[in-house]
Structure 1
């Protein structure tokens, strides 16, 4: 917020990332879709928060949501890369 308070122009990200469960996972949200991924677990969770705000239906395996899943994985991987952590640093993982 500092640049904004200082009157400078600010470029905002179009997504939000947070850590889940003591740094064992990550969550990324963009628009109405949310992706949750855990370290050392290939299973991911994808939710449409507009249709399912209580996150009861995992859409990750449904082909019609493949583009949303791929985009959220891309955003999370880019965010990880922007952190510039060492490849084996604690807290770093990459979704495939």
Structure 2
């Protein structure tokens, strides 16, 4: 289907959909990535029943996260967060851009 709802014809074996879980670039002073991921994973878990067919047909949910930094920094993903991501069947992908300012 097109964004306006018109049929495209043919059968697609693969597709994707994307959505932003943050309003653009967010400095860590404003919101920690770890907190955003935990909140978002909790929202996905609330939809678990509706995602059963999606996963059963080979669907994958992936958080693609772009990180920018002008100096060394680190992230610690707690075991609680990792467990929540695993429960929600969310794959985590980090795309890191060192020595660049994303803001």
TM-score by length of 1: 0.32
The answer to which structure, 1 or 2, has the higher relative contact order (CA under 8 A, 6+ apart) is 2
Higher helix share: 2
Higher strand residue share? 1
Normalising by the residue count of structure 2, what TM-score does the alignment of the two structures yield? 0.31
Q: Which structure: larger Rg?
A: 2
